């Protein structure tokens, strides 16, 4: 019995979940809301009228029974398995139970067995507007009862009242929804950029949104009631009405007419709709003045671009990321012997060598670079080669992403040919020109020497002249080749640590005879400095400078040649007492064939290449050269060479000669030894021979390729690469900050006064140097033996061995000749003391007048300006 009842109940419970019913119930939005008087009033009446303790307005959800209003029970929520109402709802019919204990469907219900011990139940289904049963109005009692027909009628009527209330809730919701939707529409209408106007079959405007009102220049509402035709230039309603049917739904451009009579281009679409049985026409339009202007500007700009593109002498070509040619100009076509149409759509690969590396091109599209330049051989349609210099840049879309590559292409075939001819010419000069010169020079020499028989006086004079000019021609050939080689760089200058005085002596020896013949005296005053240079080339440079000085010296004049330390460099000078050089020529005299006076070349027998060669030599050694002059009071040529002790070589690697020279000069001026080199191979040649502390690369299109090439060479792979964004001193300083060699300058402080010693150490350390402190002469010697310092600060009065003894030892053991010595003592230095303490570059500071800060500053200055700047 129980089992059957349970199964039956399960089916009924399942019936509660019927989807449409549940949806309708939930749409009422009454579930789980607080009690409401309008429903409580009904249950109160029912309870009183039927004299029952329990009355409910029940709602049957999919999985529970919930009472919107209840009298006589504490809970508002019940399980469906104890719900009488469920049966009424699922059956959609009134349920009358006189005695639940007698009904097998309900006898086992907890509400029957336990509290509230229901015996009597009567429930009438309540429906939504659409007739779906969602709950009941029910009454119950713990005593068995009977209801007659009239009672059931009353219960039904009360249920109708509940249904009315349900409907009221439903309508309120619907109304709300509609209001919201209308607000949406209004919001859209108010804020949309398009003007929207509705008008009737009579052409009278019914409504206009703010955008429309603005567009036509009317005050808010000012369009309603107007004739639509008045808003269209030159239109009548009759015309508009005839025009409308074929235009409906089509976007078109017309001329709008503002309220003030001015006109504007109006893009308009008209549609129709039925509203309340009346046909309404809806015009949606926009003032397109700006858009048309923008389009016109774009068109004009495109036309201008195409005029340039088509008319340019430079070839221009647009390439997409797949390396397909998108566009090309006529100049490009002409360069390749192809029509523009033939170029477009074809792959770039077809124009270039198959093995060409496209890395740079691809980097344009990966965003790694914006532009690059390259010299490239292209193949013309007729099979001939054409050399081009291409500047390739990325173009971008509106979001800044790389779109295409645009190449500006210059035909440099002629230039390449000239370069080739020049190389060939140089080689011709090297051999072919010298061969006949050898015969000529030899023949004239033999004639002049009387070997080929006696000559008459006039003939001898002619032969002399020919010989002198042949010699000049031989020198010119020699100098030209020399200059070409020096400018080509790589391997022409062999650097080594070398003492300067023997080089000066050698050069003086070469020109001695010339000087004697010219009646000129040469006085040399050379400090014994050790430099890093190519000795043969420096002798050549000095010989050239001395030769010049002799040529321009007056008879009886004196030439001074000397060298002295200047920071981290040796400065070598050759000064004459000749007529001097006008200020405007001081720079240009180092260029080829740039004598101050063109007649000098003939008169003085020079080739016009000597100073250019000297400059190349000095540059190759990492130095600088310049000329000074007071016209009338002689000229002085000065050049610098890095002192061997402090030489830290910084290479400047750039394909462009003017760039690398400028950077090297700037580094030189900062007290560094800078070597300009033209490429990775040249640097590798140098790096094999000497230590290069860093290589400076100017950031540019070729940097990546250059770094790659440097990484490939064993000799250059480990050299720190310093990428430079700005070529000024500040940029260089910050770029070079990370180079270890530039920071290390070891200083030995010899001072027995502990406090002063510590003060000096701290101060010098602050300036970026490593400092060691020695308190006695013996400690000083030990420290120097361990590692030679770059500079010594020396007190004289020391316990045991004094400062003099330390210097004596240094001299005896030939140490620290090139390292500056700073004597810092309180003792009076006599002339003979000065002589005894002189060791290479020696300076004297007095404890009585010079502060420790003065010592620190001088140390920084002496060890190169690098350490002083930027800290």
Partner 1 sequence: VSAGRLLLVDDEEDIRRVARMSLERVGGYSVVEAGSAAEAVAAAQEDPFDAVLLDVMMPDVDGPATLERLRPLIGPAVPVVFLTAKVQPADIARLRELGAAGVIAKPFDPMGLPGELAGLLPDAT
Number of shown-chain residues binding partner 1 (CB under 8 A): 24
Identity of the residue, 439 or 828, whose beta carbon is nearer to partner 1 in the bound complex: 439
Q: Is 430 in the site for partner 1 (CB under 8 A)?
A: yes
- Of residues 732 through 761, those in contact with partner 1 by CB under 8 A are none
CB of 505 to partner 1, least distance (A): 20
CB of 366 to partner 1, least distance (A): 45
- Of residues 456 through 485, those in contact with partner 1 by CB under 8 A are 470, 474, 485
CB of 449 to partner 1, least distance (A): 4
CB of 860 to partner 1, least distance (A): 39
The one segment of 427-435, 454-462, 646-654, 857-865 that binds partner 1 by CB under 8 A: 427-435
CB of 543 to partner 1, least distance (A): 15
Q: Give the whole-angstrom CA distance, residue 438 versus residue 432.
A: 10
Identity of the residue, 433 or 845, whose beta carbon is nearer to partner 1 in the bound complex: 433
Could you please report the per-residue DSSP string of 285-324?
EEE-HHHHHHHHHHHHHHHHHHHHHHH-SSEEEEE-TTSB
Place of tokens 């061995």: 801
Identity of the residue, 424 or 765, whose beta carbon is nearer to partner 1 in the bound complex: 424
All residues at 6 or more sequence positions from 222 whose CB lies less than 8 Å from its CB, including other chains: 213, 259
CB of 452 to partner 1, least distance (A): 7
Identity of the residue, 165 or 482, whose beta carbon is nearer to partner 1 in the bound complex: 482
Identity of the residue, 342 or 448, whose beta carbon is nearer to partner 1 in the bound complex: 448
DSSP state of 628: E
Identity of the residue, 540 or 629, whose beta carbon is nearer to partner 1 in the bound complex: 540
CB of 478 to partner 1, least distance (A): 8
Task: List Cβ<8 Å contacts ≥24 apart for 116-119.
Answer: 116/53, 116/54, 116/72, 116/73, 116/140, 116/142, 117/142, 118/54, 118/84, 118/142, 119/143, 119/144, 119/145
Token pair listed for 797: 């009065």
Output the CA angle 61-63-64, nearest 5 degrees. 65
Instruction: Indicate the length of the chain as a whole number.
Output: 871
Identify the H or E element spanning 375.
strand 371-379
- Of residues 317 through 356, those in contact with partner 1 by CB under 8 A are none
Report strand pairing: 673-677 vs 692-698.
unpaired
Token pair listed for 636: 């002085």
The one segment of 68-76, 147-155, 201-209, 426-434 that binds partner 1 by CB under 8 A: 426-434
Count the neighbouring beta carbons within 10 Å of the beta carbon of residue 539.
Answer: 21
- Of residues 783 through 822, those in contact with partner 1 by CB under 8 A are none
Q: Greatest CA span in the chain, whole angstroms?
A: 173
CB of 443 to partner 1, least distance (A): 6
Q: Is 290 in the site for partner 1 (CB under 8 A)?
A: no
Per-residue contact track with partner 1, 432 to 461, x per CB under 8 A? --xxxxxxxxxx-xx-xx-xx---------
Identity of the residue, 491 or 556, whose beta carbon is nearer to partner 1 in the bound complex: 491
Q: How far is CA 837 from the centre of its chain?
A: 56
Please answer whether residues 404 and 394 qualify as being in contact, where contact means their C-beta atoms are separated by less than 8 angstroms. Answer: yes
Q: Give the whole-angstrom CA distance, residue 790 versus residue 861.
A: 12
Q: Is 513 in the site for partner 1 (CB under 8 A)?
A: no
Per-residue contact track with partner 1, 176 to 205, x per CB under 8 A? ------------------------------
Q: Give the whole-angstrom CA distance, residue 580 versus residue 638.
A: 14
- Of residues 681 through 700, those in contact with partner 1 by CB under 8 A are none
CB of 458 to partner 1, least distance (A): 21
Q: Using alpha carbons, list the distances in angstroms from residue 640 to 529, 533, 562, 569.
A: 12, 10, 12, 6
Q: Which of 431, 513, 786, 830 binds partner 1 (CB under 8 A)?
A: 431
Q: Is 75 in the site for partner 1 (CB under 8 A)?
A: no
CB of 428 to partner 1, least distance (A): 12
CB of 486 to partner 1, least distance (A): 11
Identity of the residue, 442 or 826, whose beta carbon is nearer to partner 1 in the bound complex: 442
Handedness of CA 337, 340, 342, 346 (dihedral sign): positive
Q: Which of 225, 367, 491, 582 binds partner 1 (CB under 8 A)?
A: 491
Identity of the residue, 491 or 501, whose beta carbon is nearer to partner 1 in the bound complex: 491
Q: Is 536 in the site for partner 1 (CB under 8 A)?
A: yes
Identity of the residue, 482 or 795, whose beta carbon is nearer to partner 1 in the bound complex: 482
Q: Is 494 in the site for partner 1 (CB under 8 A)?
A: yes
Identity of the residue, 491 or 708, whose beta carbon is nearer to partner 1 in the bound complex: 491
Identity of the residue, 482 or 576, whose beta carbon is nearer to partner 1 in the bound complex: 482
Nearest to 374 by CA among 321, 403, 412: 412
Identity of the residue, 123 or 610, whose beta carbon is nearer to partner 1 in the bound complex: 610
CB of 550 to partner 1, least distance (A): 21
Nearest to 409 by CA among 442, 374, 384: 374
Identity of the residue, 514 or 869, whose beta carbon is nearer to partner 1 in the bound complex: 514
Q: Is 252 in the site for partner 1 (CB under 8 A)?
A: no
CB of 738 to partner 1, least distance (A): 36
CB of 507 to partner 1, least distance (A): 17
Output the CA angle 488-489-493, nearest 5 degrees. 135
Q: Give the whole-angstrom CA distance, residue 7 versus residue 313.
A: 97
Identity of the residue, 222 or 605, whose beta carbon is nearer to partner 1 in the bound complex: 605
CB of 620 to partner 1, least distance (A): 14
Identity of the residue, 241 or 460, whose beta carbon is nearer to partner 1 in the bound complex: 460
Residue 28: exposure state from Cβ atoms within 10 A (0-12, 13-18, ≥19): buried
Could you please report the per-residue DSSP string of 193-250?
SSEEEEE-TT-BEEEE-HHHHHHTTPPTTTTTTSBGGGGBTT--HHHHHHHHHHHTT-
Please answer whether residues 799 and 768 qualify as being in contact, where contact means their C-beta atoms are separated by less than 8 angstroms. Answer: no
Nearest to 702 by CA among 773, 754, 654, 774: 654
Please answer whether residues 649 and 690 qualify as being in contact, where contact means their C-beta atoms are separated by less than 8 angstroms. Answer: yes
CB of 532 to partner 1, least distance (A): 18
Token pair listed for 128: 């939504």
* Residues in touch with partner 1 (CB under 8 A): 430-431, 434-443, 445-446, 448-449, 451-452, 470, 474, 485, 491, 494, 536
């Amino acid at each position: 019995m129980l089992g059957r009842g349970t199964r039956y109940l399960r089916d009924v419970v399942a019936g509660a979940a019927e989807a449409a019913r549940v949806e309708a119930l939930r749409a009422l939005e009454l579930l789980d809301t607080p009690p409401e008087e309008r429903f409580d009033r009904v249950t109160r009446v029912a309870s009183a009228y039927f004299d029952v303790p329990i009355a409910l307005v029940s709602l049957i959800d999919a999985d529970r029974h919930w009472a919107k209003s209840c009298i006589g029970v504490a809970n508002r929520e019940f399980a469906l398995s104890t719900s009488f109402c469920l049966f009424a709802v699922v059956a959609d019919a009134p349920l009358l139970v006189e005695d639940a204990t007698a009904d097998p469907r309900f006898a086992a219900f907890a509400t029957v067995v336990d509290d509230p011990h229901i015996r009597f139940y009567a429930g009438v289904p309540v429906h939504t507007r659409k007739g779906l049963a969602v709950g009941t109005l029910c009454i119950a009692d713990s005593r068995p009862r009977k209801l007659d027909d009239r009672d059931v009628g009353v219960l039904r009527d009360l249920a109708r009242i509940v249904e009315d209330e349900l409907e009221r809730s439903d309508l309120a919701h619907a109304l709300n929804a509609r209001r919201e939707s209308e607000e949406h529409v209004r919001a859209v209408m108010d804020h949309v950029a398009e003007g929207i106007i509705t008008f009737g079959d009579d052409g009278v405007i019914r409504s206009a949104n703010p955008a429309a009102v603005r567009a036509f220049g009317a005050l808010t509402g000012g369009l309603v009631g107007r004739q639509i035709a008045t808003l269209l230039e030159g239109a009548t309603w009759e015309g508009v009405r005839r025009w409308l049917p074929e235009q409906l739904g089509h976007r078109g451009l017309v001329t709008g007419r503002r309220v003030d009579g001015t006109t504007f281009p109006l893009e308009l679409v008209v549609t129709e709709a039925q509203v309340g049985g009346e046909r309404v026409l809806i015009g949606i339009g926009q003032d397109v003045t700006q858009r048309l202007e923008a389009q016109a500007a774009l068109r004009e700009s495109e036309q201008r671009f195409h005029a340039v593109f088509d008319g340019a002498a430079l070839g221009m070509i647009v390439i997409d990321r797949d390396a397909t040619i998108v566009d090309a100009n006529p100049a490009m076509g002409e360069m390749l012997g192809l029509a523009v149409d033939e170029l477009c759509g074809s792959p770039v690969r077809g124009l270039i060598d198959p093995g060409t590396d496209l890395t740079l091109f691809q980097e344009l599209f990966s965003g790694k670079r914006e532009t690059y330049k390259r010299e490239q051989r292209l193949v013309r349609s007729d099979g001939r080669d054409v050399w081009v210099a291409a500047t390739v840049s990325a173009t971008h879309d509106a979001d800044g992403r790389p779109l295409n590559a645009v190449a500006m292409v210059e035909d440099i075939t002629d230039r390449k040919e000239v370069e080739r001819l020049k190389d060939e010419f140089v080689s011709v000069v090297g051999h072919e020109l010298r061969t006949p010169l050898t015969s000529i020079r030899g023949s004239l020499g033999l004639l002049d020497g009387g070997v080929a028989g006696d000559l008459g006086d006039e003939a001898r004079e002619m032969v002399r002249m020919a010989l002198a000019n042949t010699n000049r021609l031989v020198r010119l050939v020699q100098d030209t080749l020399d200059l070409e080689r020096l400018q080509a760089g790589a391997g022409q200058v062999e650097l080594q640590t070398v003492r300067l005085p023997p080089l000066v002596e050698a050069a003086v020896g070469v020109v001695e005879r010339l000087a004697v013949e010219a009646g000129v005296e040469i006085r040399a005053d050379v400090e014994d400095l050790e430099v890093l240079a190519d000795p043969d080339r420096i002798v050549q440079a000095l010989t050239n400078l001395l030769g010049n000085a002799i040529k321009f010296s007056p008879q009886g004049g004196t030439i001074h040649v000397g060298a002295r330390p200047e920071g981290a460099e040796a400065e070598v000078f050759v000064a004459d007492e000749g007529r001097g050089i006008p200020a405007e020529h001081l720079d240009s005299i180092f260029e080829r064939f740039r004598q101050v006076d063109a007649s000098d070349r003939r008169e003085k027998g020079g080739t016009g290449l000597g100073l250019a060669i000297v400059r190349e030599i000095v540059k190759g050694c990492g130095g600088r050269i310049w000329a000074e002059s007071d016209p009338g009071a002689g000229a002085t040529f000065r050049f610098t060479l890095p002192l061997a002790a402090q030489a830290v070589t910084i290479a400047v690697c750039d394909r462009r000669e003017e760039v690398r020279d400028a950077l090297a000069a700037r580094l030189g001026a900062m007290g560094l030894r800078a070597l300009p080199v033209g490429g990775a191979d040249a640097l590798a040649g140098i790096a094999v021979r000497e230590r290069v502390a860093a290589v400076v690369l100017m950031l540019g299109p070729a940097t990546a390729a250059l770094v790659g090439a440097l990484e490939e060479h064993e000799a250059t792979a480990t050299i720190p690469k310093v990428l430079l964004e700005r070529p000024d001193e500040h940029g260089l300083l910050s770029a070079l900050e990370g180079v270890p060699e530039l920071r290390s300058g070891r200083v030995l402080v010899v001072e027995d006064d502990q406090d002063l010693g510590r003060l000096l150490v701290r101060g010098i350390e602050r300036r970026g140097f490593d400092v060691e402190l020695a308190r006695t002469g013996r400690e000083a010697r030990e420290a120097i033996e361990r590692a030679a310092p770059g500079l010594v600060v020396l007190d004289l009065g020391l316990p045991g061995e004094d400062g003099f003894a330390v210097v004596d030892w240094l001299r005896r053991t030939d140490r620290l000749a090139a390292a500056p010595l700073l004597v810092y003592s309180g003792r009076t230095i006599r002339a003979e003391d000065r002589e005894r303490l002189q060791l290479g570059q020696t300076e004297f500071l007095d404890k009585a007048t010079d502060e420790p800060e003065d010592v620190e500053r001088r140390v920084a200055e002496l060890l190169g300006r690098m350490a002083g700047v930027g800290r």
